[in-house]
Each structure stands twice: as C-alpha cells, then as structure tokens.
Amino acid sequence: MKKFVFVFPLVALVFFFSCKQTTENKANNDVKDITIDSSSNVPTILVYNFYGKHRCPSCIAIEKATIKALDSLYINEKKQGKIKQYSINIDDPVNSNICEKYQVWGSGLLITKVYKGQEKTIDLSGIGFKFALHKEDEFIEILKSNIDELLKN
C-alpha cells in the first residue's frame, strides 16, 4: 500500500507535466471560416485537429503528421477545396460550438465527410496518440486509408 501511495502521485505528476508543453500552431484557422455547401454533389473532407492550450509531444506529433500527409498526398484535393484542414483550439471560446457539436473536450483528430446533406465522422484520436509520435509512417498510412475511403462517392 505504501508503494501505491508513493507511485500514484508520481505517475499523476509525470502525466500532468508531460501535457504542459506548449507550441505555436502552424495552421491556426478560425472556425468562423468553415463554410461547406452540405448539399454539394462533391464530397468535402474536413480534417479537424483539436488541441488545448497545453500540448504534449503526442498532440503536437498528430498535428504535424496530419499536415505533412495532407500537404504531400492530397495537394490537388486541397487546391480544389475537396479537403480542408483546421486546427482548432478547444480553449478559445469562439470554438465552443464546434467542440460541442463533435463532443470534443481534449486533443483529438476527427475527419468528417460532408456530402449531399449528410455528415460522416471518423475519430482517429486514439490512432494518433498510438502512432503519430513514434510510428509516423503507420499513422500516415492509416490516415490516408480513412481519407481515401471517405473520398469515394
């Protein structure tokens, strides 16, 4: 029992301080700019990187790997507006509506397909935390396969 009393607070402190690292956000997009024609006959993929004021290395890696994947694999789709990436600060009150819509209260990665008035969302947060930091190539491959599937009509 003495070990538990000592180890538990130590583990809690390590976890707390690991997510205290902050960074500038490269793709800081204002959510007010998200305008999608939901009745369009062309699917639009929205890639949302949700983050908080305090970011851990995994949170940062998810966003960097996502941006890297989109910028290298989907250049044309981004230019055509078929894929849009947004980095959304969950601590900013202006983003409260989108956080509530997707029930996001922490860091995460969601991919939403908007097509003919319907939305389909895939949550890749767990995959991101599992792979983005130490197995970026695997993470990018999983991200790519999910986006490719959503791009199909």
Per-residue pLDDT reduced to its tens digit, 50-102: 999 888 999 999 999 999 999 999 999 999 999 999 999 999 999 999 999 99
Binning pLDDT at 50, 70 and 90, where does residue 7 land?
low
69 and 140 Cβ atoms separated by less than 8 Å: yes
Tell me which residue has tokens 């941006």. Answer: 67
83 and 27 Cβ atoms separated by less than 8 Å: no
With respect to residue 11, please indicate whether it lies within any of the assigned structural domains: no
Q: Is the pLDDT confidence value at 19 over 90?
A: no
43 and 84 Cβ atoms separated by less than 8 Å: no
With respect to residue 7, please indicate whether it lies within any of the assigned structural domains: no
36 and 44 Cβ atoms separated by less than 8 Å: yes
With respect to residue 13, please indicate whether it lies within any of the assigned structural domains: no
Cα 106 from chain centroid (whole Å): 10
Can you give the CATH number for the domain in which 63 is found? 3.40.30.10
Domain count, the chain: 1
Tell me which residue has tokens 């509506």. Answer: 97
With respect to residue 137, please indicate whether it lies within any of the assigned structural domains: yes
Q: Would you tell me how many other CB atoms lie within 10 Å of the CB of residue 5? A: 8
pLDDT at 41: 74
User: Residue 104's domain spans which residues?
Assistant: 23-151
